[in-house]
Amino acid sequence: MRIKFLGAAGTVTGSSYVLTSHSGQSILIDQGMFQGTEDVESLNYEKYDYDTSQLIGAILTHAHLDHCGRLPLLLKGGYRGEIWMTAPTASLAEVVLLDSAKIAKFDKERALYDKSLAIRTIERFKTTGYHKPISLGDFNITFYDAGHILGSASLEVEDTSGGEYKKIIFSGDLGNTPEDLVRATEFFDSADVVVMESTYGGRQHPDGDPKKTIQQEINKIEQTNSTLLLPAFSLERTQEILHLIKHLKEEEKVEYNTPVYLDSPMAERATEIYRDYPGYFNDHIQQEMKGKDPFDFPGLIISKSSHDSQRLQADRGKKVIIAGSGMMVGGRIVGHAAHYLPMESTRLLIVGYQGDETLGRELLEGETEVEIDGESIKVKATVTDTQAMSGHADEDQLLDWLNHIKGVKKLFLTHGDNDAREAVQNRIKKEMNISQIILPNLNQEIDLV
């Protein structure tokens, strides 16, 4: 039995693993896009180091681009099987892949795939629920709620073909439980091998109330009749922000008539999908959804077109603009940034992780002049941030999750940069009795013997 690490090995993105059974059958877990610096993103264009026509099955843990974005390459490589996931993941991944193909058509020389191949990939999607085992050749696979985004899963994989190591757990991306919308991350009792993400290795989430931070930022632009920019990822983060603002309006902590523009077609589509799966929310949201929409409130305005988006900039009144992308590397937020950042009255609230070499990171670090679409833009806006909305487990939560799993003989740390992985490794060595902790390299294949 062996595992090949085809992504997220020394990087946070590009998740992709091939697991081969004792008898030689192989399945894929995730095939995500590499995102971040130019060097990291260049990995997307290197030859995929596995013959995908030999796979007997494929699994997707959740719909974030860094886990599903390269799935069409499966078909390019000759794969003709099904791709298994939860139902919400299937709906969200469809939106993500079609959006990725749409963006790619503007750079045809570097496009990984087109709309046609994305659609053919989506046609391979097959859904299952949590706690309902599926069988793929030698493997029995059960999905558990990872508590990260709607439909996200950790995987319990059993090899029925023999060998010393029979049960392997893939964490997927673990959530920052308790989350505002989704259920708590589920635990496992036992395993021989664990493949665990380490995004927040060496870090703890700061104390803080994101609802209060958003309230304060909205109150300030209400007082000055100005603009609050809120860059947000389309999946989960946007829905969390909408839900928090809904409660702020209901509690009269922000003004009833303050306009909030959702200026992201992808986020709008994702929000509709969220409404389609009420059973995947936590109990609080399910109760709230009985007769109510958790994402709608007075003053919410959907920008349908790019013309609507541009027209916002002519409005001099108070307003909140929620737009993608979350790290400000593309999408409609970039145009708004170029227009509004030179204004002292503007406020920018950063609500998530900002990768190296992104506009969001530059602004977070206090740059007073940035480049947007080849133009130098003065930054006179007030930039604030809250790290309390992270969707990933921090180091304490990672170790708590791992500590519930008994009998672990091998642990692989992935989906983190090397500093984060080493921090988790060092702490586990001190606090837990796991003899082999491995930090795999990209394209490395490791035997489980």
- DSSP assigned state of 278: G
Per this entry, what is the length of the chain? 449
Range list of β-strands (E), 288-404:
300-302, 319-323, 347-350, 369-372, 375-378, 382-385
- 211 band by pLDDT with thresholds 50, 70 and 90: very high
Superfamily the domain 2-203+391-447 falls into = Ribonuclease Z/Hydroxyacylglutathione hydrolase-like (3.60.15.10)
Q: Check residue 68 and give left, alpha or beta (phi > 0: left; psi -120 to 50: alpha).
A: alpha
Residue type, 264: S
> Quick one: angle between helices 210-224 and 237-250, nearest 10?
70
- What is the CATH code for 210-385? 3.40.50.10890
Instruction: Please give the Cα distance from 65 to 149 (Å, whole number).
Output: 12
Residue 388: the pLDDT is 84
Domain boundaries, the chain: 2-203+391-447, 210-385
On the question of pLDDT at 226 being above 90, the answer is: yes
Identify the burial level of 253 via C-beta atoms within 10 angstroms of its C-beta, where 0-12 means exposed, 13-18 middle and 19 or more buried: middle
Asked whether the beta carbons of 204 and 65 are under 8 A apart, the reply is: no
> If you average pLDDT over every residue of the chain, what do you get?
95
CB atoms within 10 A of CB 385: 16
Instruction: Please give the Cα distance from 428 to 433 (Å, whole number).
Output: 8
Reported as a single tens digit per residue, the pLDDT across 25-56 is: 999 999 999 998 889 999 999 999 999 999 99
Looking at per-residue pLDDT, the higher value among 107 and 22 belongs to 22
Across the range 7-30, mean pLDDT stands at 97
Residue 147: the pLDDT is 97
Provide the 3-class DSSP secondary structure of residue 253. coil
Say which residue the tokens 């990933």 belong to: 392
Reported as a single tens digit per residue, the pLDDT across 101-160 is: 998 877 777 899 999 999 999 999 999 999 999 999 999 999 999 999 999 999 999 999
Residue 354: the pLDDT is 84
Instruction: Please give the Cα distance from 260 to 227 (Å, whole number).
Output: 10
Across the range 157-174, mean pLDDT stands at 95
Residue 162: the pLDDT is 87
Residue 266: the pLDDT is 95
